[in-house]
Amino acid sequence: MPVSPSYDVFCRVVDHFGDAGICWRLARQLAREHGFAVTLWIDDRAVLARIAPVLDARCDDQIRSGVRVRRLAAPMPEDAKPADVVIEGFGCGVPEPYLAAMAARAHAPVWINLEYLSAEAWIETSHGLPSPNPRLPLTRWFFFPGFTNRTGGLLREHDLLATRDAALVPAEDSTVRSPEDGGAPAEVLTVSLYCYPNSALPALFDVWSEGDKRIVCNIPDCVARSELDRWLGGNVPHQGTPIERGRLTLIVHPFVAQDSFDRRLWSSDVNFVRGEDSFVRAQWAARPFIWHIYPQAAAAHAAKLEAFLARYTSGLHGVSAAAVRDFWRAFNAGDGAATATAWPSLRASLPVLSTHGRAWASALAQQSDLATRLVNFAASRL
Protein backbone atom coordinates (compact mmCIF):
# COMPACT_ATOMS: atom_id res chain seq x y z
CA MET A 1 0.00 0.00 0.00
CA PRO A 2 1.39 3.45 -0.93
CA VAL A 3 2.31 5.68 2.01
CA SER A 4 0.04 8.39 0.60
CA PRO A 5 -2.10 7.07 -2.25
CA SER A 6 -3.05 9.31 -5.15
CA TYR A 7 -6.67 9.78 -6.21
CA ASP A 8 -8.25 10.45 -9.60
CA VAL A 9 -11.92 11.53 -9.67
CA PHE A 10 -13.79 11.33 -12.99
CA CYS A 11 -16.87 13.48 -13.61
CA ARG A 12 -19.10 13.94 -16.65
CA VAL A 13 -21.69 16.64 -16.11
CA VAL A 14 -25.27 15.37 -16.47
CA ASP A 15 -27.29 17.17 -13.80
CA HIS A 16 -25.74 20.58 -14.48
CA PHE A 17 -24.25 21.67 -11.16
CA GLY A 18 -25.06 18.60 -9.05
CA ASP A 19 -22.55 16.12 -10.48
CA ALA A 20 -19.82 18.73 -10.70
CA GLY A 21 -20.59 20.03 -7.22
CA ILE A 22 -20.37 16.64 -5.54
CA CYS A 23 -17.14 15.63 -7.28
CA TRP A 24 -15.55 19.01 -6.51
CA ARG A 25 -16.51 18.83 -2.83
CA LEU A 26 -15.16 15.28 -2.58
CA ALA A 27 -11.91 16.12 -4.37
CA ARG A 28 -11.31 19.15 -2.15
CA GLN A 29 -11.98 17.17 1.02
CA LEU A 30 -9.66 14.35 -0.02
CA ALA A 31 -6.91 16.90 -0.61
CA ARG A 32 -7.52 19.22 2.35
CA GLU A 33 -8.45 16.83 5.13
CA HIS A 34 -6.68 13.65 4.07
CA GLY A 35 -3.62 15.14 2.38
CA PHE A 36 -3.82 13.12 -0.83
CA ALA A 37 -2.70 14.16 -4.30
CA VAL A 38 -6.05 14.48 -6.09
CA THR A 39 -6.84 15.06 -9.75
CA LEU A 40 -10.37 15.89 -10.86
CA TRP A 41 -11.02 14.97 -14.49
CA ILE A 42 -14.14 16.84 -15.65
CA ASP A 43 -15.62 17.31 -19.11
CA ASP A 44 -17.41 20.63 -18.53
CA ARG A 45 -15.18 23.03 -16.63
CA ALA A 46 -17.49 25.96 -17.43
CA VAL A 47 -20.25 24.44 -15.29
CA LEU A 48 -17.86 23.84 -12.41
CA ALA A 49 -16.49 27.38 -12.67
CA ARG A 50 -19.99 28.77 -12.04
CA ILE A 51 -19.97 27.31 -8.51
CA ALA A 52 -16.19 27.32 -8.05
CA PRO A 53 -15.15 30.71 -9.46
CA VAL A 54 -11.56 30.08 -8.38
CA LEU A 55 -11.32 27.93 -11.52
CA ASP A 56 -10.39 29.19 -14.99
CA ALA A 57 -12.93 27.57 -17.33
CA ARG A 58 -10.54 27.99 -20.28
CA CYS A 59 -7.60 26.20 -18.69
CA ASP A 60 -7.16 22.48 -19.41
CA ASP A 61 -4.82 21.81 -16.50
CA GLN A 62 -4.74 23.83 -13.28
CA ILE A 63 -4.35 23.44 -9.52
CA ARG A 64 -7.05 25.06 -7.40
CA SER A 65 -7.84 24.54 -3.70
CA GLY A 66 -5.21 21.82 -3.57
CA VAL A 67 -6.84 19.84 -6.40
CA ARG A 68 -5.44 19.36 -9.88
CA VAL A 69 -8.32 19.98 -12.30
CA ARG A 70 -7.90 18.59 -15.80
CA ARG A 71 -10.07 18.48 -18.88
CA LEU A 72 -11.72 15.13 -19.54
CA ALA A 73 -11.77 14.65 -23.31
CA ALA A 74 -10.56 12.25 -25.97
CA PRO A 75 -7.74 11.67 -26.48
CA MET A 76 -6.45 11.87 -22.93
CA PRO A 77 -3.07 13.54 -22.42
CA GLU A 78 -0.04 11.27 -22.73
CA ASP A 79 0.97 12.01 -19.14
CA ALA A 80 -2.36 10.73 -17.76
CA LYS A 81 -1.11 7.95 -15.51
CA PRO A 82 -3.64 6.04 -13.38
CA ALA A 83 -3.82 6.98 -9.72
CA ASP A 84 -3.76 4.48 -6.87
CA VAL A 85 -7.48 5.07 -6.31
CA VAL A 86 -9.80 5.81 -9.23
CA ILE A 87 -13.25 7.21 -8.45
CA GLU A 88 -15.80 7.06 -11.24
CA GLY A 89 -18.49 9.60 -10.47
CA PHE A 90 -22.00 8.23 -11.01
CA GLY A 91 -21.02 5.59 -13.54
CA CYS A 92 -19.71 8.24 -15.93
CA GLY A 93 -17.27 5.83 -17.57
CA VAL A 94 -13.48 5.79 -17.51
CA PRO A 95 -11.81 6.27 -20.93
CA GLU A 96 -10.62 3.01 -22.50
CA PRO A 97 -6.94 4.00 -22.76
CA TYR A 98 -6.97 4.89 -19.08
CA LEU A 99 -8.60 1.55 -18.22
CA ALA A 100 -5.91 -0.27 -20.19
CA ALA A 101 -3.24 1.63 -18.28
CA MET A 102 -4.95 0.66 -15.01
CA ALA A 103 -4.84 -3.00 -16.01
CA ALA A 104 -1.17 -2.73 -17.00
CA ARG A 105 -0.06 -1.63 -13.54
CA ALA A 106 1.78 -4.16 -11.41
CA HIS A 107 -0.77 -3.51 -8.67
CA ALA A 108 -4.20 -2.57 -10.01
CA PRO A 109 -5.74 0.63 -8.65
CA VAL A 110 -8.78 0.51 -6.41
CA TRP A 111 -11.59 1.39 -8.81
CA ILE A 112 -14.68 2.81 -7.12
CA ASN A 113 -17.98 3.67 -8.74
CA LEU A 114 -19.48 6.47 -6.62
CA GLU A 115 -23.22 5.98 -7.00
CA TYR A 116 -26.12 8.38 -6.49
CA LEU A 117 -27.47 8.94 -3.00
CA SER A 118 -30.61 7.08 -1.97
CA ALA A 119 -32.53 6.31 1.21
CA GLU A 120 -33.86 3.06 -0.26
CA ALA A 121 -33.19 -0.05 1.82
CA TRP A 122 -31.63 -2.06 -1.01
CA ILE A 123 -28.50 0.09 -1.16
CA GLU A 124 -27.34 -1.34 2.18
CA THR A 125 -26.92 -4.75 0.57
CA SER A 126 -25.45 -3.34 -2.66
CA HIS A 127 -22.93 -1.00 -1.03
CA GLY A 128 -19.39 -2.34 -1.31
CA LEU A 129 -20.17 -5.08 -3.82
CA PRO A 130 -17.50 -5.94 -6.43
CA SER A 131 -18.02 -6.03 -10.19
CA PRO A 132 -15.17 -7.79 -12.05
CA ASN A 133 -14.43 -6.35 -15.48
CA PRO A 134 -15.26 -8.96 -18.16
CA ARG A 135 -12.22 -8.07 -20.31
CA LEU A 136 -9.52 -6.75 -17.99
CA PRO A 137 -8.03 -7.87 -14.66
CA LEU A 138 -9.82 -5.08 -12.84
CA THR A 139 -12.59 -4.94 -10.25
CA ARG A 140 -14.96 -2.02 -9.86
CA TRP A 141 -16.47 -1.53 -6.39
CA PHE A 142 -19.90 0.00 -5.87
CA PHE A 143 -19.99 2.75 -3.26
CA PHE A 144 -23.46 3.98 -2.31
CA PRO A 145 -23.90 7.19 -0.29
CA GLY A 146 -26.69 6.87 2.24
CA PHE A 147 -28.12 7.63 5.63
CA THR A 148 -27.00 4.65 7.72
CA ASN A 149 -23.76 3.09 8.91
CA ARG A 150 -24.22 0.31 6.36
CA THR A 151 -23.82 2.75 3.44
CA GLY A 152 -21.19 5.19 2.21
CA GLY A 153 -22.56 8.08 4.27
CA LEU A 154 -22.87 11.74 3.31
CA LEU A 155 -20.33 14.35 2.28
CA ARG A 156 -19.48 16.55 5.26
CA GLU A 157 -16.32 18.52 5.96
CA HIS A 158 -14.98 18.02 9.49
CA ASP A 159 -15.69 21.62 10.53
CA LEU A 160 -18.92 22.17 8.60
CA LEU A 161 -21.39 22.22 11.48
CA ALA A 162 -19.12 24.33 13.69
CA THR A 163 -18.68 26.81 10.84
CA ARG A 164 -22.45 26.88 10.34
CA ASP A 165 -23.15 27.53 14.00
CA ALA A 166 -20.51 30.27 14.22
CA ALA A 167 -21.99 32.01 11.19
CA LEU A 168 -25.44 32.03 12.79
CA VAL A 169 -24.42 33.71 16.05
CA PRO A 170 -26.78 36.74 16.26
CA ALA A 171 -25.16 40.06 15.48
CA GLU A 172 -25.71 43.10 17.73
CA ASP A 173 -28.30 44.39 15.29
CA SER A 174 -30.41 41.34 14.52
CA THR A 175 -33.27 43.24 12.89
CA VAL A 176 -31.68 42.87 9.45
CA ARG A 177 -30.12 39.71 8.07
CA SER A 178 -26.95 39.45 6.01
CA PRO A 179 -26.80 40.15 2.27
CA GLU A 180 -26.43 36.40 1.74
CA ASP A 181 -30.21 36.05 2.15
CA GLY A 182 -31.15 39.29 0.45
CA GLY A 183 -30.84 41.54 3.50
CA ALA A 184 -34.40 40.80 4.61
CA PRO A 185 -35.68 42.04 7.98
CA ALA A 186 -35.77 39.31 10.61
CA GLU A 187 -39.58 39.30 10.76
CA VAL A 188 -39.79 38.40 7.06
CA LEU A 189 -39.92 34.77 5.93
CA THR A 190 -36.87 34.19 3.72
CA VAL A 191 -36.98 31.48 1.08
CA SER A 192 -34.10 30.18 -1.01
CA LEU A 193 -35.49 28.72 -4.25
CA TYR A 194 -33.16 26.40 -6.17
CA CYS A 195 -35.18 23.90 -8.17
CA TYR A 196 -35.66 22.39 -11.62
CA PRO A 197 -38.29 23.85 -13.97
CA ASN A 198 -41.60 23.31 -12.19
CA SER A 199 -45.10 24.18 -13.38
CA ALA A 200 -46.30 24.47 -9.76
CA LEU A 201 -44.29 27.66 -9.16
CA PRO A 202 -46.77 30.26 -10.52
CA ALA A 203 -49.50 28.97 -8.19
CA LEU A 204 -47.04 28.98 -5.30
CA PHE A 205 -46.01 32.56 -6.11
CA ASP A 206 -49.71 33.47 -6.09
CA VAL A 207 -50.32 32.08 -2.61
CA TRP A 208 -47.15 33.73 -1.31
CA SER A 209 -48.09 37.10 -2.75
CA GLU A 210 -51.59 36.90 -1.27
CA GLY A 211 -50.56 35.66 2.18
CA ASP A 212 -50.54 37.49 5.49
CA LYS A 213 -46.75 37.34 5.98
CA ARG A 214 -44.08 39.03 3.93
CA ILE A 215 -41.86 36.62 2.02
CA VAL A 216 -38.53 37.35 0.37
CA CYS A 217 -37.66 34.68 -2.20
CA ASN A 218 -34.02 34.51 -3.34
CA ILE A 219 -33.46 32.77 -6.68
CA PRO A 220 -30.16 32.00 -8.43
CA ASP A 221 -29.92 33.34 -11.97
CA CYS A 222 -31.33 31.01 -14.67
CA VAL A 223 -33.40 29.03 -12.14
CA ALA A 224 -37.17 28.98 -12.77
CA ARG A 225 -36.67 31.47 -15.59
CA SER A 226 -39.70 30.48 -17.66
CA GLU A 227 -41.95 30.28 -14.57
CA LEU A 228 -40.86 33.75 -13.46
CA ASP A 229 -41.43 35.09 -16.96
CA ARG A 230 -44.94 33.63 -17.06
CA TRP A 231 -45.90 34.82 -13.58
CA LEU A 232 -44.47 38.32 -14.02
CA GLY A 233 -45.79 38.78 -17.55
CA GLY A 234 -42.36 39.03 -19.10
CA ASN A 235 -40.97 41.33 -16.43
CA VAL A 236 -38.19 39.03 -15.19
CA PRO A 237 -36.13 40.92 -12.62
CA HIS A 238 -32.53 41.84 -13.27
CA GLN A 239 -29.96 40.42 -10.89
CA GLY A 240 -30.19 42.10 -7.52
CA THR A 241 -33.29 44.15 -8.37
CA PRO A 242 -36.23 43.26 -6.10
CA ILE A 243 -39.66 42.92 -7.66
CA GLU A 244 -42.64 43.10 -5.33
CA ARG A 245 -46.06 41.58 -5.93
CA GLY A 246 -48.34 41.84 -2.92
CA ARG A 247 -46.61 40.28 0.07
CA LEU A 248 -43.92 38.61 -2.06
CA THR A 249 -40.54 40.05 -3.00
CA LEU A 250 -38.52 38.19 -5.62
CA ILE A 251 -34.76 38.74 -5.92
CA VAL A 252 -32.62 37.07 -8.58
CA HIS A 253 -28.99 36.60 -7.54
CA PRO A 254 -25.92 35.58 -9.54
CA PHE A 255 -24.62 32.07 -9.03
CA VAL A 256 -22.24 31.99 -6.10
CA ALA A 257 -19.44 29.74 -4.91
CA GLN A 258 -20.46 26.63 -2.99
CA ASP A 259 -19.39 28.07 0.37
CA SER A 260 -21.52 31.17 -0.20
CA PHE A 261 -24.48 29.01 -1.21
CA ASP A 262 -24.07 27.07 2.03
CA ARG A 263 -24.32 30.34 3.97
CA ARG A 264 -27.50 31.23 2.13
CA LEU A 265 -29.01 27.90 3.11
CA TRP A 266 -27.99 28.43 6.74
CA SER A 267 -29.62 31.85 6.94
CA SER A 268 -32.88 31.11 5.09
CA ASP A 269 -36.09 30.07 6.82
CA VAL A 270 -37.09 27.64 4.05
CA ASN A 271 -34.84 26.06 1.42
CA PHE A 272 -35.98 24.60 -1.88
CA VAL A 273 -33.17 22.41 -3.21
CA ARG A 274 -32.71 20.05 -6.10
CA GLY A 275 -30.73 17.03 -7.23
CA GLU A 276 -28.20 15.69 -4.75
CA ASP A 277 -25.52 18.23 -3.82
CA SER A 278 -27.81 20.99 -2.53
CA PHE A 279 -30.12 18.30 -1.09
CA VAL A 280 -27.34 17.14 1.24
CA ARG A 281 -26.25 20.69 2.07
CA ALA A 282 -29.82 21.61 3.01
CA GLN A 283 -29.82 18.82 5.58
CA TRP A 284 -26.60 20.11 7.12
CA ALA A 285 -28.17 23.59 7.17
CA ALA A 286 -30.70 22.17 9.67
CA ARG A 287 -33.53 24.27 8.24
CA PRO A 288 -36.94 23.28 6.85
CA PHE A 289 -36.45 22.29 3.22
CA ILE A 290 -38.21 20.94 0.15
CA TRP A 291 -36.36 18.54 -2.13
CA HIS A 292 -37.08 18.73 -5.85
CA ILE A 293 -35.71 15.36 -6.92
CA TYR A 294 -34.14 14.94 -10.36
CA PRO A 295 -37.00 13.69 -12.56
CA GLN A 296 -36.40 10.41 -14.38
CA ALA A 297 -38.23 8.63 -17.16
CA ALA A 298 -41.25 6.54 -16.18
CA ALA A 299 -41.22 8.23 -12.75
CA ALA A 300 -38.28 6.09 -11.65
CA HIS A 301 -37.41 8.80 -9.12
CA ALA A 302 -40.68 8.38 -7.20
CA ALA A 303 -39.41 5.44 -5.12
CA LYS A 304 -36.33 7.43 -4.06
CA LEU A 305 -38.50 10.38 -3.03
CA GLU A 306 -40.84 8.20 -0.99
CA ALA A 307 -37.96 6.34 0.65
CA PHE A 308 -36.45 9.57 1.90
CA LEU A 309 -39.82 10.98 2.97
CA ALA A 310 -40.45 7.87 5.06
CA ARG A 311 -37.05 8.14 6.71
CA TYR A 312 -37.13 11.92 7.23
CA THR A 313 -40.68 12.13 8.61
CA SER A 314 -40.35 9.12 10.92
CA GLY A 315 -39.40 11.48 13.75
CA LEU A 316 -42.32 13.82 13.13
CA HIS A 317 -45.85 13.53 14.43
CA GLY A 318 -49.21 13.73 12.70
CA VAL A 319 -49.85 17.14 11.20
CA SER A 320 -46.22 18.12 10.59
CA ALA A 321 -45.36 14.81 8.93
CA ALA A 322 -48.44 15.07 6.71
CA ALA A 323 -47.59 18.69 5.85
CA VAL A 324 -44.13 17.68 4.62
CA ARG A 325 -45.39 14.70 2.64
CA ASP A 326 -48.28 16.60 1.02
CA PHE A 327 -46.18 19.58 -0.03
CA TRP A 328 -43.21 17.59 -1.30
CA ARG A 329 -45.42 15.26 -3.35
CA ALA A 330 -47.44 18.09 -4.85
CA PHE A 331 -44.38 20.17 -5.70
CA ASN A 332 -42.51 17.24 -7.25
CA ALA A 333 -45.60 16.40 -9.31
CA GLY A 334 -45.70 19.98 -10.62
CA ASP A 335 -49.29 20.26 -9.37
CA GLY A 336 -49.85 23.98 -8.79
CA ALA A 337 -53.26 23.70 -7.16
CA ALA A 338 -52.16 20.97 -4.74
CA THR A 339 -48.92 22.83 -3.94
CA ALA A 340 -50.81 26.03 -3.14
CA THR A 341 -53.28 24.10 -1.00
CA ALA A 342 -50.48 22.36 0.91
CA TRP A 343 -48.49 25.53 1.65
CA PRO A 344 -50.47 26.84 4.69
CA SER A 345 -50.00 23.59 6.60
CA LEU A 346 -46.31 23.49 5.77
CA ARG A 347 -45.85 27.09 6.85
CA ALA A 348 -47.68 26.45 10.12
CA SER A 349 -45.32 23.52 10.76
CA LEU A 350 -42.11 25.52 10.22
CA PRO A 351 -41.29 25.92 13.94
CA VAL A 352 -41.59 22.16 14.44
CA LEU A 353 -39.62 21.49 11.26
CA SER A 354 -36.83 23.82 12.39
CA THR A 355 -36.40 21.81 15.58
CA HIS A 356 -36.62 18.58 13.61
CA GLY A 357 -34.04 19.81 11.09
CA ARG A 358 -31.45 20.45 13.78
CA ALA A 359 -32.09 17.08 15.42
CA TRP A 360 -31.87 15.37 12.02
CA ALA A 361 -28.54 17.03 11.17
CA SER A 362 -27.11 16.27 14.60
CA ALA A 363 -28.08 12.60 14.34
CA LEU A 364 -26.50 12.27 10.89
CA ALA A 365 -23.34 13.98 12.12
CA GLN A 366 -22.82 11.18 14.65
CA GLN A 367 -21.88 8.98 11.70
CA SER A 368 -18.56 9.21 9.87
CA ASP A 369 -18.62 11.23 6.65
CA LEU A 370 -18.50 9.92 3.08
CA ALA A 371 -14.90 10.94 2.34
CA THR A 372 -13.63 9.20 5.46
CA ARG A 373 -15.58 6.03 4.68
CA LEU A 374 -14.34 6.08 1.10
CA VAL A 375 -10.71 6.51 2.21
CA ASN A 376 -11.03 3.60 4.64
CA PHE A 377 -12.77 1.49 2.00
CA ALA A 378 -9.97 2.13 -0.50
CA ALA A 379 -7.20 1.61 2.06
CA SER A 380 -8.49 -1.86 2.89
CA ARG A 381 -8.17 -2.84 -0.79
CA LEU A 382 -4.86 -1.24 -1.76
Catalytic residues: 19, 276
Q: Strands, DSSP E only, in 277-327?
A: 289-292
Sign of the CA dihedral with 253 first, then 346, 155, and 302 last: negative
Among 48, 88, 3, smallest CA distance to 258 is for 48
Among 260, 257, 261, 256, smallest CA distance to 272 is for 261
> How far, in Å, CA of 77 to CA of 72, rounded?
9
Which ranges constitute the DSSP H helices of 17-86? 17-32, 45-51
Max CA distance (Å), the chain: 69
Among 36, 37, 54, smallest CA distance to 45 is for 54
Amino acid, single-letter form, for residue 292: H
**CB-CB contact of 265 with 285 (8 Å):** yes
**CB-CB contact of 5 with 378 (8 Å):** yes
Phi/psi at 320 (nearest 5 deg)?
Answer: -65, -40
**CB-CB contact of 30 with 371 (8 Å):** yes
